[in-house]
């Protein structure tokens, strides 16, 4: 069926290719190529992609660390004999260094008090 210009045939041809609702869904709209206005636009896009990649890597590492922490907590319960729950998010060695630093500070203070 043509009106002489070929338009109607083109419309029929295009409609034959369109997916029907019963065929399992719609096709995504055809993406037009992105046209960047300047080299700075491309540079900004690269920076954003780079930042996104770094953030994904950071999140993957955090996820791995959290999964390891969960595994540790599941293998050794943090319950003392009297039922008190002890759980420290810090590395045990770093925590030990902090406590020792506090003890040294207290010892220094007490030594000054004894001299007075």
Query: Each residue of 10-56: pLDDT tens digit?
Result: 444 444 444 444 445 677 777 777 777 788 888 998 999 999 999 99
CA nearest neighbour of 73 among 87, 61, 85, 60 = 87
Average the pLDDT over 46-75 and give the result. 93
Listed by start position, the domains of the chain span 37-76, 78-116
Written as six digits, the tokens of 59 are 């999140």
Cα distance between residue 65 and residue 91, in whole Å:
12
Average the pLDDT over 53-69 and give the result. 95
Cα distance between residue 64 and residue 27, in whole Å:
37
pTM above 0.75, yes or no: no
Query: Each residue of 72-83: pLDDT tens digit?
Result: 888 876 555 666
Helices (H), the chain: 7-17, 39-75, 92-115
Average the pLDDT over 88-99 and give the result. 87
pLDDT at 89: 80
């Amino acid at each position: 069926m043509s009106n002489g210009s070929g338009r109607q045939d083109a419309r029929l041809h295009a409609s034959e290719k369109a997916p029907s609702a019963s065929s399992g869904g719609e096709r995504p709209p055809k993406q037009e190529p992105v046209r960047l206005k300047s080299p700075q636009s491309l540079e900004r896009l690269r920076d954003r992609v780079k930042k996104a990649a770094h953030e994904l890597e950071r999140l993957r590492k955090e996820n791995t660390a959290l999964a390891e922490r969960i595994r540790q907590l599941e293998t050794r319960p943090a319950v003392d004999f009297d039922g008190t729950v002890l759980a420290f998010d810090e590395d045990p060695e770093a925590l030990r260094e902090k406590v020792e630093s506090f003890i040294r500070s207290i010892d220094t203070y007490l030594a000054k008090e004894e001299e007075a």
